[in-house]
Amino acid sequence: MNALYAEVFGGGVSPARACVEVAALPKGARVEIDCIAVLG
């Protein structure tokens, strides 16, 4: 995944990311969404 990420976004500053591996998400969820915010 790191090689593909570097290929797509190049050598500059890349967007933040998260990758979680679990057997199952809580409450039978099918999608997990993470949010990264900057407060100014």
Q: Can you give the residue range of the structural domain that contains 10?
A: 1-25
Which pLDDT tens digit goes with each residue over 1-40?
778 888 888 777 777 787 777 888 889 999 888 887 888 7
Is residue 17 within 8 A of residue 5, CB to CB? The reply is: yes
Rounded to an integer, what distance in angstroms lies between the CA atom of residue 15 and that of residue 36?
Answer: 10
Whole-model pTM above 0.85? no
What lies within 8 Å, CB to CB, of 37 at 6+ separation is: none
Count: domains in the chain: 1
Phi, then psi, of 25 in degrees rounded to 5:
-85, 155
Rounded to an integer, what distance in angstroms lies between the CA atom of residue 33 and that of residue 7?
Answer: 23
Q: Is 17 inside any structural domain?
A: yes
Q: Is 9 inside any structural domain?
A: yes
